Structure formats: structure tokens, C-alpha cells
Amino acid sequence: MSFRQELLRRATARRARIVLAEGEDPRIRAAASRLRGGGIAAPILLGGPD
């Protein structure tokens, strides 16, 4: 099993949460969507309108 596969397996099994700064950035939103959609982690986005 590759390092990446093992990392994803562990994160999925633990129902990991990850905090992502700059939540208004489209790239961060896309990454958060992939994490949630793949069941890998529950992303928490920080940032927004000031």
C-alpha cells in the first residue's frame, strides 16, 4: 500500500477534521469539496468577508 493510500485510509477511518485557512479562495473551496465528497475528512473553512 502506498503512503498516500495509507494516509487516506487512516483519515477516512478516523473521520478526521481539517481546518483550512483562506476559505474564500476558490482553490481551498475545491479542495474542501474533494475532501468531503471523498469521505476523507470534514473540512472547516476559515475566513470570509471582512
Q: Is the whole model's pTM more than 0.95, yes or no?
A: no
Question: CB-hemisphere CA count at 13 Å for 33?
Answer: 7
- Domain ranges across the chain: 3-45
Q: How far apart are CA 5 and CA 30, in angstroms?
A: 20
3 or 1: which leads in pLDDT:
3
pLDDT digits (tens, 9 = 90+) for 5-50: 998 898 889 888 999 999 999 999 999 999 999 999 999 999 876 6
pLDDT of residue 3: 96
| 27 contacts 1 by C-beta, under 8 angstroms | no
Q: How far apart are CA 13 and CA 43, in angstroms?
A: 15
Q: How would you label 8-24 residue by residue, b for 16+ Cβ within 10 Å and e otherwise?
A: beebeeeeeeeebeeee
pLDDT of residue 23: 94
